[in-house]
Structure 1
């Protein structure tokens, strides 16, 4: 509550009266004894009214509107004429009255909250609380609407389709939209579109539009073409920008590289190691020319390895702590920290990294040192990326402090960020840029992915005045499940669209924009702890789902020697097959998704599964057969078909036949 009500121009309750204002409105003040309290005139609430106010959405932790508590109170005013001698009257307790001019009382009545109070009283009715649970507004009794009590849990979720997302789809920024061509209004299948494309009907613009619509409708299916098995959890994997290269990072500190110039027939390339990693390889990034791969662990050193299969030299070690600069407090940068995320710049000269010392580093490869350190967060920086591949100036960083910050390297003399995105109520696990310098996508431990517009970010000054710790529970995603009933929306959320349905548990699961080539930038997608890749339209409706769990279930025999230490202990979940899709990558030119996962008995091992568009068909006549199981070097391994689980006889015969064919080769 403010000490001085608005409209009193700073005059306190003890200010002397103005004797020149005859006929001022008098408000008598003084301490109330028990008799005074009983004499105060209140309008009693009608029977059952309090029960309506205390609905199921309200508890002790919810916002309480003081206006509602005062809306049945009566405030008496007494107009007094000034005495001839200019002296004021006193009440029986000796309290001095306060005079307020007519102009000041009109200003007071002009305040929104008091205006509603007096309007409710003079009209002889109170504001009625809307009983409709889906309503977001309440009737105030003053001819207007006010905000409803804050909701929590699933009732606070924005229901798809998102209105902002529909606008984005209609704008053409994210994918092509159908144009009416004939009176055929039913759902148009692929064959119909192909016929019109072959006939070449319409202008070149319409034909180009038709091709875009065809490509964006080819969402890969759940059935896996190939299952690549690793003897360690797989943490990440991405296609190169041109689609000719793919790499995967595993917990055995190895990065495998593959030739994917033919996305339907991969070839093994080479494997590089992190010589002294800690826990796992956390991230990797490919240079724009595909010649070098940078990869990190929970250390301050990044390995830079050539991708040429004929080059077996050791990787170069890039020490991000060797900078020579001092931070704002005058101390040298921390000597030891872990790197959680890293990205090459568009020109391949720099690498940006998010670290465990709450900072963002920019490393110059030619100078072999860090040229910039930004200690700009209050917790670990889990994700970083460049805003535009054509410019190294704009950086995005996402942290466990729940914020996403935008950094402009051209204007960082004061060390402040260019803007902040607030809206997640738990830590950020990943940040991805559309590459146009405008749209940003993030994944959060509050089980949401959010789309942001750079033009709608909050200024650093405004964000500094907000206590970000007041809107988070510090959810520990590694050891417990998320309780949706305790969710409360962030009051300063500036995101455009919120995507739900996936699970972000145990590890830093990643999300991405779909590529412009193969999907016309139509979708966003994310891995999930439930073993699926979730694909959304821009209006937050689900466009498809790639079920990696069912595609890989029992695809290798149980081996006690390979059951490494895991979050899911053997006595609890180690006896069943589990899948957590940590990362996924959509091929830039073909309808192919590669999902890298923790997979196996108790998620102790890993897979990289290749999923293609197959028009919903579970089997095909192509070679090799769908669902083939190979090792990390893409070699057919008969041991992988020796699962102890019962399988259909036809599948068993097919496996035996394929094994015999391999022996003949």
Structure 2
């Protein structure tokens, strides 16, 4: 395989403090490793590396030069490529047998593989809220989302619009205006539930993100084209298409600059690419990370690139396995969060880091498998993580894990004997268990993490008070959880393949889902009688209703038409009486 496809810079984030720094990671993303994600090969066939390859495109130890491979190695990779193609096309099925002498019983009956088609991910019937109930985030979210009374006690009943209007008009709202929490309480009653199609691609769509102001939406697919849409006034008008450079497999991550004038993207390359959004002349600049000795493998490092100095300023040896996620903790560029296939989240403070001896401020342990994505709350305190153990967790960086908990996580990850890229979830992984020493504040179950590095996010502060956590799902759904209870609030269904990325508009109740079926879907709230007819054929429609866990049933258009016809019938009879 060519070296171009084996060099990779995966995930990235941009700093808002100086608007000059870009954060990158050298590691896994979408098929590059055992338990990694999207993996390219010659001739465009998805090729899995041998186990223990550490995410490299070649079966050499980490740091070894791929140019030393023999002809037999090339033949071996061709066979792997063909086998991978047959597996992904469904012509070959993996059958796992029991291994003799397995002391841990990893291939017992509990390790049978479950079919996602026959058994969708099961939500937690009784989520453990003992930790979040005593954490500061509970009162913070209750207050911000309008669910907290002035005396600090949680409201027993849901706030109604009629009640808010009454309190405003009789002067209980001070200057007769709704507060921010009042507006959020209203907004949370109208969560998106109905999909329209923005665009359809002929390739898998990997990324879809709103800009900070919500006036731009950026998508990336396997074509490889970067499409930029103008979303002002609720429209999605495509006004620019950028042809990505130096792409291996696909564009895997995108990010906006804090001022919204530039965007960056990364693929399997030694470079992060920077492009302008506006202007008559196009800027397309390569930011070289220079991984060094590990340019042909995943080296598990983080890289910081200073745009002002136009050079890489810091390299951090962060994880023992592929780095799948990296982000700044807030608008400054001091605190970093990273997550990898070692199952650990690490917190870094740039003010105390050195290239020769980089040490994290602390480590968060509790997942039983690799981490696919990390999303910060934006206050440099809380973060969400999605994992291949089929859970999403909420963390408080004031509660770091002990060395014993870190060891337990590493041990649990090392025992994983399944490949989430093409195998279904084993029953052993689906078991609802808590790892000893887990310091997470809350755990969310009910979505499926398969095939790719599926992303999760906090809901926007402006419209919801960050009351929800939402994520994509391998079953083709968008799953929205209540952050404080762990219960599924709604599940937006309609995609035919996994939803890899989801983005909630920062100031509107609009969600955009990006799926491997090539569809970009926009979700908004609609009354059921305006969106669904019980007797209409919607099999070929571009619009799809959602599965709502909280909303009461509403009258359908058919029943409304029936009532109208009855009234007209009685009126006609009255004319002849």
Q: TM-score range by the shorter chain?
A: 0.5 to 0.7
Q: CA deviation at 1:367?
A: 2.1
Question: Are positions 1:160 and 2:132 aligned together?
Answer: no
CA distance in 1, matches of 2:358, 2:327: 19
Unaligned runs of 5+ in 2: 1-101, 106-120, 533-537, 544-557, 559-577
Contact 1:548–1:579 (CA<8 Å) still a contact in 2?
Answer: no
Question: Are positions 1:212 and 2:212 aligned together?
Answer: no
The residue number in structure 2 matching 1:238 is 209
CA distance in 1, matches of 2:290, 2:419: 29
**Which of these two proteins has the greater Rg computed from alpha carbons?**
1
TM normalised by structure 1 equals: 0.57
Q: CA deviation at 1:531?
A: 1.2
CA distance in 1, matches of 2:148, 2:527: 20
Secondary structure of the equivalent of 1:268? strand
CA distance in 2, matches of 1:457, 1:617: 49
Q: CA deviation at 1:217?
A: 2.8
CA distance in 2, matches of 1:254, 1:217: 37
Q: CA deviation at 1:314?
A: 5.2
Q: CA deviation at 1:203?
A: 2.7
The residue number in structure 2 matching 1:35 is none
CA distance in 1, matches of 2:223, 2:239: 18
| Higher mean displacement: 540-549 or 477-486 | 540-549
Contact 1:429–1:445 (CA<8 Å) still a contact in 2?
Answer: yes
1:18-167 correspondence to structure 2 within 5 Å: 61=104, 159-160=126-127, 162-167=129-134
The residue number in structure 2 matching 1:308 is 278
The residue number in structure 2 matching 1:141 is none
What whole-Å deviation, never above 9, does each CA across 1:507-546 have from its counterpart, x for those lacking one? 1000001110111111111000111111111234335334
Q: CA deviation at 1:178?
A: 4.4
TM normalised by structure 2 equals: 0.65
Picking from 300, 305, 320, the partner of 1:378 is: 320
Contact 2:167–2:173 (CA<8 Å) still a contact in 1?
Answer: no
Question: Are positions 1:275 and 2:245 aligned together?
Answer: yes
Question: Are positions 1:177 and 2:177 aligned together?
Answer: no
What whole-Å deviation, never above 9, does each CA across 1:283-306 have from its counterpart, x for those lacking one? 000001111110011111111111
CA distance in 1, matches of 2:445, 2:174: 39
Contact 2:405–2:437 (CA<8 Å) still a contact in 1?
Answer: no
Secondary structure of the equivalent of 1:210? helix
Secondary structure of the equivalent of 1:388? coil
CA distance in 2, matches of 1:272, 1:465: 43
| Alpha-carbon spacing, 1:388–1:629, altered in 2? closer, same or farther (3 Å) | same
Unaligned runs of 5+ in 1: 1-58, 63-153, 323-331, 338-355, 553-577, 600-605, 621-625, 631-649, 651-665
CA distance in 1, matches of 2:468, 2:122: 26
Q: CA deviation at 1:192?
A: 4.3
Picking from 284, 288, 300, the partner of 2:254 is: 284
Work out which structure has the larger RCO, using CA pairs closer than 8 Å and 6 or more positions apart in sequence: 2
Contact 1:197–1:210 (CA<8 Å) still a contact in 2?
Answer: no
Secondary structure of the equivalent of 1:212? helix
Contact 1:220–1:592 (CA<8 Å) still a contact in 2?
Answer: yes
Secondary structure of the equivalent of 2:252? strand
| Alpha-carbon spacing, 1:591–1:206, altered in 2? closer, same or farther (3 Å) | closer
Secondary structure of the equivalent of 2:469? strand
Cα RMSD of the aligned pairs, angstroms, is 3.3
Between the two proteins, the alignment pairs up a number of residues equal to 410
Picking from 465, 483, 491, the partner of 1:520 is: 465
Q: CA deviation at 1:227?
A: 3.7
Q: CA deviation at 1:206?
A: 7.2
CA distance in 1, matches of 2:129, 2:406: 30
CA distance in 1, matches of 2:327, 2:287: 19
Picking from 591, 594, 605, the partner of 2:509 is: 591
The residue number in structure 1 matching 2:484 is 539
CA distance in 2, matches of 1:445, 1:315: 35
